[in-house]
Amino acid sequence: MSARLLAILSVASLLAGCEIPGIYPDPKVLAREADAKATGGGCRHALRALEDCYALNPKAPRAAIFAGWREMDQYMRENKIEGVQAVIPSPKAETTEESVASSPPEGKTERRGARGS
């Protein structure tokens, strides 16, 4: 009987110090979600819309970005904190500037056609 008790206690002590895979979430996933949450909070503080934040961070999980944005919004409202204007222009502003720059000047149109026909 003592051998059986000793075997049970040794197996229990071995399993107590063991990390079984799959029980705890992956630390990389947790770090990625925490980064996305911080990014969302930063976007809110920089007065960016959620859509701009999603466009600037396409690989970040959207749910985590939204959670960070929402928490920062609540914190800023409770403490009456004003946002800081973002230094980097939003993606929408960049696309409109590029389309304006690529269009020909007023009054001048480009003629592209086949010659000799």
Q: What is the pLDDT of residues 38-84, one digit of tens each?
A: 999 999 999 998 999 999 999 999 999 999 999 999 999 999 988 88
Percent of the chain with pLDDT over 70: 68
Stated pTM of the model: 0.58
Take residue 43 and report the two structure tokens written for it.
Answer: 């976007």
Three-state secondary structure of the chain: CHHHHHHHHHHHHHHHCCCCCCCCCCHHHHHHHHHHHHHHHHHHHCCCCHHHHHHHCCCCCHHHHHHHHHHHHHHHHHCCCCCCCCCCCCHHHHHHHHHHHHCCCCCCCCCCCCCCC
